[in-house]
Structure 1
Amino acid sequence: LHAAALYSALGACRMDQHIAPIAAELARNDLADASRLTARIVSRDTTDADAEALARAACESALENGNDAIFGALFWFFIGGAPAVIVFRLANTLDAMWGYRTPRLLHFGWAAARIDDGLNLIPARLTALTYALLGATGQALRCWRTQAPAWSSPNAGPVMAAGAGAVGVALGGGARYHGEWEERPPLGVGERPGAAHVDACLRLVQRTLWLWLGLAMLSVPLAMGLEVAA
């Protein structure tokens, strides 16, 4: 039952299935299909987005959802098994549905947003640290330290800033959300985003997943040895 709950909570395969095709369409310069695919995974308006804006949205989604759909779930599974991972993913899903500061959802979705922020506080920083260790470490840590505080989300900022710095891509900036133009702080440093950077962000998430799973496997014999010694 615990394994089934974890399997249903993890979004690694689904994330790759949704984001990798965007990179493929951008590489083919098919903006219509890239825009259609990107609109499925982000809340911003992609109707008039150019290739750079679509790649930026896909990169940010890959990095942020690496924490929300994979590493946060793993963290809480390690802490409390199936009940903990189900509560985490429920809060995360409700935040994605209701946690927007729009006139309709401002008072309705605040609880889901705040609960999700609290549950993600530790996992997001572990994710950001792992992103940094598996990429351009010094650059990623600098981006985390200098850029994350400017973001309104206490968890998305560190994750995306460290991830963008690790990959060496410049993200952030303006986009249209729910009919309103929002200018967001910069993330990362380096080249403007393109199809190759979307693939690079996905690979960073995959390497992070393998590292977390490897550490989890190594911890099992250690925990058993301590139990036997006790």
Structure 2
Amino acid sequence: MSLGLSMLAAVLLDALCGEPRRYHPLVGFGRLANALEAWGNREGSGRRWQGLMAWALAVLPLTLLAALLASLPLIGGLLEILALYAALGLRSLHEHARPIAAALRAGDLPAAQQALSMIVSRDTQVLDAEGVARGATESVLENSSDAVFAALFWFALAGAPGVVLYRLANTLDAMWGYRTARFERFGWAAARLDDLLNYLPARLTALSWALLGQTHQALNCWRRQAGQCASPNGGPVMAAGAGALGVQLGGAACYHGQWQARPVLGCGQPASAQSIEAALALLRRGVLLWLLLILLGGWLYG
């Protein structure tokens, strides 16, 4: 099966089935990561080289296994599709964001706050309706790059091994990549390697937002605002996405009882239920664009 058809099959499988409800491979990987962290970072004493070693032990053998399985005759192509399917979070993003928009439209702020708390780390109970909508729109835009476009990018570039390596590295960043006393040194490699693997996908995602939304505004926000963000990859995605939607995102947010200043991104209307739905629609158009370009490339050069 061609690359484009394999990607289309994985996206359709995700749209139909969503994430596996039971026996998700990342659950088992999380247990392995916890064991490696307990071994290499006892009481937060791990150094950078120990974090890098733990990262390699967690990621590289499984990446090699994915390469071996993908090379098997008859079933290798199916296993590649399943690898990409397991890495995608397209339907999951919709399942988490749509209830927030629905609750806001119904005027049920507590339900919207509770639904938002499932996908963000900020304190949602202190947010008004605009703050909830802002958090949900930001989550859709940022996670679109991590959970959808980066997976498609690495699958297109390196097949099953590429997408497995990316998804495992991204998971380790979510588990270890914190600037806390426990993970400042041990989690350094996980955070930096995730930044590296997301560098190109994030900018291609931002470009997709610009092409499919308010182009001039998206490019202008990307150029002027992205550098103000702490995240080197989240900045372009969030700024371009906010500009493409014509919505204002960012600003102060409360984490663990402490308000933290963040740059204002985008311009135009305040966030609302409509902006959440518009972000999801932008995501769907972006996936369609990527699939069409890859299928067209395969037809022209295959």
Equivalent position to 1:202, from 275, 280, 287:
280
C-alpha RMSD of the superposition: 1.1
Pairs within 5 Å for 1:204-219: 204-219=282-297
Structure 2 match to 1:228? none
Equivalent position to 1:38, from 111, 116, 123:
116
Deviations 1:142-169 (A, max 9, x none): 0000000111111000000000000000
Equivalent position to 2:246, from 157, 168, 189:
168
Distance 2:294 2:279 in 1: 23
The more displaced of 179-188 and 5-14 is 179-188
Distance 2:106 2:152 in 1: 35
Pairs within 5 Å for 1:87-166: 87-166=165-244
Amino acid at match of 2:255: Y
Indicate how the Cα distance of structure 1 residues 49 and 105 shifts in structure 2: closer, same or farther if over 3 A, else same. Answer: farther
Deviations 1:101-152 (A, max 9, x none): 2333333322211111000111100100010010000000000000001111
The structural deviation recorded for 1:171 is 0.3
Distance 1:178 1:113 in 2: 22
Q: Given the alignment of the two structures, is residue 81 of structure 1 paired with residue 145 of structure 2, yes or no?
A: no
The structure having more radius of gyration, on CA atoms, is 2
Amino acid at match of 2:215: T
The more displaced of 42-51 and 205-214 is 42-51
Indicate how the Cα distance of structure 1 residues 62 and 211 shifts in structure 2: closer, same or farther if over 3 A, else same. Answer: same
Distance 1:45 1:109 in 2: 24
Distance 1:209 1:120 in 2: 17
Q: Percent identity?
A: 58
Deviations 1:22-51 (A, max 9, x none): 111111111111111101101111121111
The structural deviation recorded for 1:98 is 2.7
Distance 1:46 1:145 in 2: 30
**TM-score, structure 2 length as denominator?**
0.72
Structure 2 gaps, min length 5? 1-78
Distance 1:214 1:24 in 2: 31
Distance 1:3 1:94 in 2: 23
Name the SS for the 2:252 alignment partner: strand
Distance 1:199 1:134 in 2: 15
**TM-score, structure 1 length as denominator?**
0.94
Name the SS for the 1:184 alignment partner: coil
Amino acid at match of 2:240: A
Distance 2:276 2:284 in 1: 13
